[in-house]
């Protein structure tokens, strides 16, 4: 069995970053592939994909279909703008992510109706736009013939339960109608956006809101799969893409349906750093957009930094 495959997932057709990514990872991983939407170039290790990037679980499924016959011990998927600690390589990744041959990894997963959850980034918590995808999710979508390929309602609940998630379909209105009176500097702008979101979700005001099928959420820009149950995972990911289920619900849900041993950031020794909105400027300023500086001065206590927009950085 081969050691590990590193698959770098592009959400946009920006092949100019391939050279930089090769320089970052080629001495650390022997087996590297890229998934790039609507790719027409000449790189032999690029896997073209042709779906909507909001549902990039299909990118992952396509890549697995392409290389699963090579029987790697694990398949590491990272976003093209996620920068792994330079010390992580194909020989030691299992130690960093606390994996064995049965373990999978995802940054985190959470019940969709947990009012204390703040991940992924929520500007007006507990409101999270991804939740609307789960509410609108229907197995009986016209033209979809894969209902029997996904777990039954009961089996999905059991799978989530085995991973410590108690599924509750009821969603409170404050998850969808983030109206909140605030006063002080900048509050008028915030109240405007809160009201705008609430008006767009006015349909949820006058009825109980429930999720019709057991699902979870999770931050999904890094995913590690063991060489087990790949075919079921691939099929579930493809079904969710066909049904237009947002990736940060589709990937963690498909993962929990198929694996009982899952490591998350909460289990690891190193922290993760994720910048949102304009906060990413901090790291660009600190390193003057020099990848050499970032590589040489990468914080020892950090597993990865996301995002690092390589198109803005110099070698």
The total of structural domains in the chain comes to 2
Count of other CB atoms within 10 angstroms of residue 34:
23
Peptide bond into 159 cis (omega under 30): no
Is 77 domain-assigned?
yes
**Same structural domain, 182 and 279:** no
85: pLDDT strictly greater than 90: yes
264-300 per-position pLDDT tens digit: 999 999 999 888 765 657 888 888 889 999 999 999 9
* Residue 158, in any domain of the structure: no
Query: pTM of the full predicted structure?
Result: 0.94
97 and 30 together in one domain:
yes
233 part of a folded domain: yes
Q: What share of the chain is helix, strand, coil (3-state, %, to 5)?
A: 40, 20, 45
In a domain, residue 117? The reply is no
Residues 178 and 250 in one domain: no
**Do residues 147 and 91 share a domain?**
no
- Nearest CA among 130, 138, 128 for reference residue 177: 128
161 lies in a domain?
no
Q: Residue 95 belongs to a domain with what CATH number?
A: 3.90.550.10
Residues 99 and 132 in one domain: no
Domain that holds residue 224: 2-109+218-312
Say whether both 8 and 102 belong to one domain. yes
Asked if residue 183 and residue 55 are part of one domain, the reply reads: no
Q: Answer whether residue 114 is part of any domain.
A: no
Digit-coded pLDDT (tens) for 9-30 = 999 998 889 999 999 999 999 9
């Amino acid at each position: 069995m081969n050691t590990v495959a590193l698959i770098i997932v592009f959400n946009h057709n920006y092949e100019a970053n391939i050279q930089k990514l090769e320089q970052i990872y080629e001495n650390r991983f022997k087996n590297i592939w890229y998934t790039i939407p609507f790719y027409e170039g000449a790189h032999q290790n690029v896997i073209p994909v042709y779906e909507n990037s909001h549902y990039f679980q299909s990118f992952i499924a396509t890549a697995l279909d392409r290389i699963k016959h090579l029987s790697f011990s694990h398949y590491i998927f990272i976003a093209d703008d996620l920068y792994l600690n330079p010390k992580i390589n194909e020989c030691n990744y299992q130690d960093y992510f606390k994996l064995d041959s049965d373990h999978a990894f995802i940054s985190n997963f959470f019940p969709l109706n947990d009012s204390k959850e703040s991940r992924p980034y929520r500007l007006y918590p507990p409101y999270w736009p991804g939740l609307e995808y789960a509410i609108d999710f229907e197995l009986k979508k016209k033209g979809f013939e894969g209902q029997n390929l996904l777990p039954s309602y009961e089996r999905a609940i059991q799978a989530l339960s085995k991973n410590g998630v108690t599924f509750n379909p009821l969603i409170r209105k404050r998850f969808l109608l983030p109206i909140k009176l605030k006063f002080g500097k900048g509050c008028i702008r915030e109240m405007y956006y809160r009201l705008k979101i609430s008006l767009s979700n006015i349909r949820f005001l006058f009825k109980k809101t429930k999720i019709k099928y057991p699902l979870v959420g999770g931050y999904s820009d890094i995913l590690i799969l063991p060489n087990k149950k790949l075919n079921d995972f691939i099929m579930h990911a493809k079904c969710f893409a066909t049904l237009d289920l947002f990736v940060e619900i589709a990937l963690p849900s498909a993962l929990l349906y198929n694996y009982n041993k899952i490591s998350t950031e909460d289990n690891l020794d190193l922290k993760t750093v994720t910048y949102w909105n304009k906060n990413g400027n901090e790291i660009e300023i600190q390193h003057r957009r020099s990848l050499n500086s970032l590589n040489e001065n990468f914080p020892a206590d950090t597993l990865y930094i996301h995002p690092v927009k390589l198109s803005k950085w110099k070698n």
